[in-house]
Structure 1
């Protein structure tokens, strides 16, 4: 049985999209063989939120996340793994938001 990969995705880099009632996504402009169109950064919740895998340390992407988080309180930055497309922005984002970063064995 083949895995039905969804290969069509409509998005704009740096724009926050609602993907479910409690989850929003911002895609970083870092397309490649491992990231496909770019790293998906997920914002969970409303009001008080967690950010999962904040992405690469890129000024435009960081500004896009700040815009997406306007009016929110970031309580946690979570890193699922330490790859360069997922974790480098974790510390700068947590410092900006005044929260902690949670990661296991990621070097963050």
Structure 2
């Protein structure tokens, strides 16, 4: 039996300091695929990156903006284009001017009407297309894109070099296989 750790202490709308360079805000979208809610991660201090802004929920957008008050969000990084990870990227960009990075959705099978991705964010279009091995930098932080197709065809993880941490999106989930 795999000993899944399901205990997590948080409050919706609050920002938790996870490590010196990582903060987390959990979206209020609990469910069978999101567990207690989508984790949005803020990387750095001063000039920051946001990984997976989450679902298009006004209260979650305001929570991210409150968590980064007095700072500049320079980059928005998307692990994949599911409805619980990427839809808030556009509204967050509109409020901050940050650049949206990600791997564009694949349209395999789209010509014959077959949908290969469940619950996808059909409007997701990154303005900066990234591939595995590419680097996104800010003051005091370095994120490397790690191509991990599987959960979705366009899935990308992000490795934070300074803390030897990996942001896996839904590629690895702590409560299921």
SS at match of 2:61: helix
Task: Give the unaligned 5+ runs of structure 1.
Answer: none
How many residues are aligned here?
107
Structure 2 Cα separation of the partners of residues 3 and 103 of structure 1: 32
1:22 maps to 21
1:58 maps to 57
Aligned-residue Cα RMSD (Å) equals 1.0
Higher Cα Rg: structure 1 or 2?
A: 2
Residue 97 of structure 1 pairs with residue 60 of structure 2: no
Structure-to-structure mapping, 1:1-108, within 5 angstroms: 2-106=1-105, 107-108=124-125
Structure 2 Cα separation of the partners of residues 99 and 61 of structure 1: 17
Task: Give the unaligned 5+ runs of structure 2.
Answer: 106-123, 126-177
Scaled by the length of structure 1, the TM-score of the pair is 0.94
Q: Which protein, 1 or 2, shows the higher relative CO under an 8 Å CA cutoff with sep ≥ 6?
A: 1
Deviation by residue 1:50-71 (Cα, 9 ceiling, x = unmatched): 0000000011111111101101
